[in-house]
A and B are shown apart, each in its own frame.
Chain A
């Protein structure tokens, strides 16, 4: 789909703002795809996306971790629902969060160690960016959304993506809101039948934002060191808004896998009741899949249940988290029956999430093939808030960069090995990651393709 010679955006800017100095730094865009959408015009493969998928309160000992390692691994009862994806995932067992004497802040220390590589020193603390943010810095800059955060329970506190303790990345809370964000104002249909005409108003919007940016020096000079960092974060964020506007000046190239869905119902109820979370999660996952196929973002973070897992069944006086602590262990079965049922619910949702990505064909395979999705929890055995052996998985082949279908077992290696592996797979030039006992320079090389 071509409509004459492409005019560079810089030319447009000069032409339309009467030579007024416009100091917007326009990024190089990577949305030049070939006509069938299988690869970029210059032959590079389709974008590889990174995402995380979180569930709370871990697993039940003896019912989750495969007994066999390697490719012939088994699926114990709590992983039963993963059967359709056995060849598409890697399961990591025996990796530990090493807190080095820092307190085990319940439902926080383990999750934050996995995601930031550093054990928090106090409750709710975060001392380093989460790895999704680091990866977004590497690959998220050219797409419309640097990353998309999604909280299936509809609570904006349920997000584990943050550059610093100062601000958590704001999640989408319901399917209708997510639809608006992706397919509402500012969305450009890559497969549009009509001729592309950039809205000249956008140039003026960029020009106005440059006025805001020009205040940077003056404002920074008034601030103390801490506040300068905060102001700097503001201006970094503002660049993303400029990026979104700039993209609207580009004619998008067609994308085979991209289609625009119908809008989901408005005002769907949200909350932690099992059926409600499952429905909202499914609808949001479907929209996310299309957002990825339409190359609106390359990084996402889905929270199915919060780390304290408020998941509960209608009519129950307790929920998943309370059951893990309060339910009497069944003497014959040897585990907490109600609590364990919630682990299965979480894994069914994880399986469904992967099925949704797999259902979208892309290039010669599926969308999932071009993703690296990191699924993990906050504890292993939630009853005692254990941070040793917290369940972690990856799904998808990252565009052929990794092998899948393996159960990797170590004996107490730091969890950061997995985080480092994923950063390297996603192209981040980093040779070691994590702090103190969790600092590592050893990726899980077995999965490298």
Chain B
């Protein structure tokens, strides 16, 4: 990515950096501007593992096994993946999956897909491991490496007298290798700057592919890495645009929003069957899918304004959800577009069952959990865990005849000074969703008393959910949180202080571009900052870029 040919977009980012660096170095010209982060090593998520296997070997290869739990760190599972390792039980599962996948790949139903050779010999095995190993390890194997796998395959085949069995035995090893289970960044010396290093083309390919498609790089992207294309602005832009235009982008963005919206919690979402008889497993699954469908339709297919997700009356329905929303659904087993009428209390993402039921208790609603979810997930405003010795009794005394609604109970809570500091931060927002019970079903009363859903958020008052949605739509934290989270997700780490200028620049251009997701993604993947490596040499490069940019401008 030569500085002279830098895109306008990247130039703007670097101007942002200059401003940031001036603040940091207090006018000391010789201080390097440090950008980028360390070389990362990220463990594949379950979704990435599954998608990689499907893309390498075909959708009909079954992946049967259990994955270690992923840890939410600094707000995202993606950040946790940069710190995770593999336990004994974890690798036992990976090895069993590897064996099962490998034997499917060579079975009679599938061997022609991956192993069509004129003869079952070393040459055939070599071609197979060269092609497949490149996709598994996300790089071309050296001749020596390749030979290792071929030899092991041949030896195993001699023992069982079965060529395909030999292939499967060796393939299992590849699939349990750390180079498959982790995405390991590598650096290489930079031919444009003697003595300096840069992110390797293969690592750029992986960053692009896992960010946008949530899977291993495809053949074309690996070829672009091999031929050096990804180190030129034009070559990078070409690949970035190809990935962005692909239908696979939706897969990648589903993975981002599942992480961003904390949707892994659906895995254990259960409601009490006697309290909420309508809420069954089909509803749980549909509630999750409904949110992803809405977000994908709005942001990816329609290229819409992110903020409109909080005010839109459009969504999608299927039959199990029709029961919970109390609306007719025509298609017997599919999804259909649906719009809530203008006078309907439901409006925007927050009124969806997948939000209100997910952030509730098993047998009742929770204004607090919902308020915290809005603050933490959507506004990136972390909430402190509660102090240990608190008497919650008054809050949840649902039988107290004087405290009929959650609002009355929580108001009692907020008079306690120790509780007030935090609860006034999220309860008023959460109370605005009290028209939806613990299963997300509409109600206008609680214990015979009308539910008051008015409130205020950071100074803006609202009388109903539509007005809350409108207030959130205009709240600066809603947009900055999305941008920060996308960047954090892409990098697998929290942005550094030095990178804040770049992040801020992205927030600004996100707004300038109508709060649309795809332009934001393109800005990120086309920028130098996304690939910068925080070494002395990298920072020197960044400084040179800035100087050139200033000349260009």
A positions within 8 Å CB-CB of B: 16-18, 20, 103-106, 109, 123-124, 145-147, 149, 155-157, 159, 162-170, 173, 177, 185, 200-201, 203-205, 207-209, 211-212, 214-215, 219, 222-224, 226-227, 229-231, 233-238, 240-241, 244, 271-273, 310, 312, 314-319, 322, 325-329, 383-387
Cβ contact of A204, chosen from B152, B273, B361, B390, cutoff 8 A: B152
> Which of B89, B160, B184, B364 is within 8 Å of A170, CB to CB?
B89
Which residue of B68, B96, B165, B172 is within 8 Å of A208 (Cβ)?
B172
- Identify A315's interface contact among B90, B159, B166, B272, CB under 8 A: B272
Cross-chain contact A123 with B385 (CB below 8 angstroms): yes
Taking a contact as CB atoms under 8 Å apart, the answer to whether A155 and B86 are in contact is no
The answer to whether B68 and A326 touch across the interface, beta carbons within 8 angstroms, is no
The 25 listed contacts between A and B (C-beta, < 8 Å) are: A16-B159, A20-B155, A103-B388, A155-B268, A165-B71, A167-B68, A167-B86, A170-B68, A177-B66, A205-B172, A211-B173, A215-B178, A230-B83, A230-B85, A233-B87, A234-B178, A234-B181, A241-B92, A317-B361, A318-B396, A325-B393, A326-B395, A326-B397, A327-B393, A387-B388
B84 at the interface (CB under 8 A from A): yes
B85 cross-chain contacts in A, Cβ below 8 A: 164, 166-167, 229-231, 233-234, 237
Asked if residues A170 and B66 are in contact (CB atoms below 8 Å), the reply is: yes
Residue B275 lies at the interface, judged by CB distance under 8 Å to chain A: yes
Is B148 interfacial (CB 8 A cutoff)?
A: yes
Q: Are A205 and B361 in contact (CB under 8 A)?
A: no
Verify if B237 is at the interface (C-beta below 8 Å from A). no
Partner of A166, one of B83, B169, B179, B389: B83
Q: Which residues of B contact A233 (CB under 8 A)?
A: 85-87
Contact of A156 (CB < 8 Å), options: B69, B166, B393: B69
B393–chain A nearest beta-carbon distance, Å:
6
Q: Return chain A residues, CB-CB under 8 Å to B424.
A: none
Residue among A124, A238, A273, A385 with most chain B CB within 10 A: A238
Please count how many residues in chain B sit with their CB below 8 Å of the partner chain's CB atoms: 67
Task: Report yes or no: B186 in contact with A212, Cβ–Cβ below 8 A.
Answer: no
B253 to chain A minimum Cβ distance, whole angstroms, is: 26
Q: Does residue B345 face the partner (Cβ distance < 8 Å to A)?
A: no
Complex contact B84–A230 (CB within 8 A): yes
Residues of B within 8 A of A123 (CB): 385
Can you name the residue of chain A whose Cβ is closest to the Cβ of B41? A227
Return the 7 tightest CB-CB contacts between A and B, nearest first: A317-B363, A326-B396, A315-B274, A208-B173, A204-B156, A385-B388, A104-B388
Proximity bits, B158-183, A CB within 8 Å = 1, else 0: 01100001100110110011110110
- A229 CA to B83 CA, complexed, in Å: 10
Say whether B220 faces chain A, with CB atoms less than 8 Å apart.
no
A318 lies within 8 A of B363 (CB):
yes
Is there contact, CB below 8 Å, between B178 and A241? no
A170-B90 in contact (CB<8A): yes
Contact A212-B41, Cβ < 8 Å, known A219-B184, A315-B272: no
Q: Which of A168, A214, A231, A244 contacts B41 (CB 8 A)?
A: A231
- In the complex formed, the residue of B with least CB distance to A231 is B178
Verify if B270 is at the interface (C-beta below 8 Å from A): yes
Note all chain A residues with C-beta closer than 8 A to B151. 20
Contact between A212 and B176 (Cβ–Cβ < 8 Å)? yes
In the complex, are the beta carbons of A234 and B86 less than 8 A apart?
Answer: yes
Q: Are B388 and A166 in contact (CB under 8 A)?
A: no
Interface string of B81-120 (1 = CB under 8 A from A): 0011111111111011000000000000000000000000
Complex alpha-carbon distance, A229 and B385, angstroms:
30
Q: Is B195 an interface residue (CB 8 A)?
A: no
Find the A residue at minimum CB distance from B361.
Answer: A322
Q: Mark B184-228, 1 if CB is under 8 A from A, else 0.
A: 101000000000000000000000000000000000000000000
How many angstroms between the C-alpha atoms of A165 and B69 in the bound complex?
12
Q: Which residues of A contact B438 (CB under 8 A)?
A: 317
Knowing A237-B91, A241-B95, A322-B361, the reply to whether A205 touches B169 (Cβ < 8 A) is yes
The CB with the most chain A CB atoms within 10 A, among B67, B85, B155, B392, is that of B85
In the assembly, what is the distance between CA of A225 and CA of B67, in Å?
Answer: 26
A219, B179: Cβ atoms under 8 Å?
A: yes
User: In the complex, which residues of chain B have a beta carbon less than 8 angstroms from the beta carbon of A173?
Assistant: 66
Query: Of all chain B residues, which has the CB nearest A166?
Result: B85
4 new A-B contacts, CB < 8 A, other than A317-B398, A325-B393, are A156-B68, A208-B152, A235-B178, A384-B391
Look across to chain B and name the residue whose beta carbon is closest to the beta carbon of A153: B268
State whether A106 touches B66 (Cβ < 8 A): no
Cβ of B351 to closest chain A Cβ, rounded Å: 22
B306 at the interface (CB under 8 A from A): no
B159-A237 in contact (CB<8A): no
User: Which residues of chain B are near A168, meaning CB under 8 Å?
Assistant: 68-69, 71, 87
Could you say which residues of chain B place their CB within 8 Å of the CB of A227? 41
> Would you give the shortest CB distance from A244 to chain B, in whole angstroms?
7
**Contact A211–B148 (Cβ < 8 Å):** yes
* Cα A215 to Cα B181 with chains together (Å): 14
**Residue B412 interfacial (CB < 8 Å):** no
Bound-state CA distance A208–B392 (Å) is 58
* B386 within 8 Å of A (CB atoms): yes
Give Cα A46 to B91, complex, Å: 29
Task: Report A113 CB to chain B, min CB distance, Å.
Answer: 13
Which residues on the B side are within 8 Å of A272 (C-beta)? 270, 362
Residue B124 interfacial (CB < 8 Å): no
CA distance A166 to B182 in the complex (A): 14
| CB of B39 closer than 8 Å to a CB of A | yes
Q: Which residue of B lies closest to A144 (CB)?
A: B92
Closest residue of chain A to B395 (Cβ to Cβ) is: A326
A311 to chain B, nearest CB (A): 11
Given known pairs A167-B68, A241-B95, the reply for A201 and B160 (CB within 8 Å) is yes
Most buried by A among B69, B87, B149: B87
Minimum distance in angstroms from A327 CB to a CB of chain B: 7
The interface bits of chain B over 59-85 (1 if a CB of A lies within 8 angstroms of the residue's CB, else 0) are 000000011110100000000000111
Q: How far is the CA of A257 from the CA of B272 in the complex (A)?
A: 41
Out of B84, B89, B90, B270, which one reaches A271, CB within 8 Å?
Answer: B270
By beta carbon, the residue of chain A nearest B38 is: A224
User: In the bound complex, how far is the Cα of B398 from the Cα of A104, in angstroms?
Assistant: 28
Task: Say how far B38's CB is from chain A's closest CB, in angstroms.
Answer: 6
Chain A residues, CB < 8 A from B178:
212, 215, 219, 231, 234-235
> Separation in Å of the B304 CB from the closest CB of chain A?
35
- Complex interface residues of chain B between 34 and 69 (CB less than 8 A to chain A): 38-39, 41, 66-69
Residues of B within 8 A of A204 (CB): 152, 155-156, 159, 166, 169
Chain B's nearest CB lies how many Å from the CB of A53?
18
CA distance A244 to B423 in the complex (A): 52
Across the two chains, which residue of chain A brings its CB closest to B264?
A157
Instruction: Give the chain A neighbours of B396 by CB distance below 8 A.
Output: 318, 322, 325-326
Interface-central residue, B177, B184, B395, by most chain A CB under 10 Å: B177
A447 → chain B closest CB, angstroms: 30
B536 to chain A, nearest CB (A): 15
With contacts A230-B83, A240-B91, A326-B393 known, is A201 near B159, CB below 8 A?
A: yes
Q: Are A169 and B84 in contact (CB under 8 A)?
A: no
Bitwise, B353-376 to A at CB < 8 A (1) or not (0) is 000000001111000000000000
Q: What's the least CB distance linking A219 to chain B, in Å?
A: 6
Kindly list chain B residues whose C-beta atoms are within 8 Å of the C-beta of A385: 388-389
Chain A nearest CB, measured from B404 CB (Å): 15
Name the B residues within 8 Å of A384 (CB-CB). Answer: 388-391
**Of all chain B residues, which has the CB nearest A322?**
B361
The docked-state distance in angstroms from the alpha carbon of A24 to that of B170 is 16
A234 touches B179 (CB 8 A): no
A203, B159: Cα distance in complex, Å:
10
B385, A106: Cβ atoms closer than 8 Å: yes
Chain A contacts of B181 at CB under 8 A? 234
Q: Are the CB atoms of A222 and B395 closer together than 8 Å?
A: no
Residues of A within 8 A of B69 (CB): 156-157, 159, 168, 170
Partner of B88 from A17, A208, A237, A315 at Cβ < 8 Å: A237
Given contacts A123-B385, A204-B169, contact A326 B392 (CB under 8 A): yes
Closest to A136 in B: B88
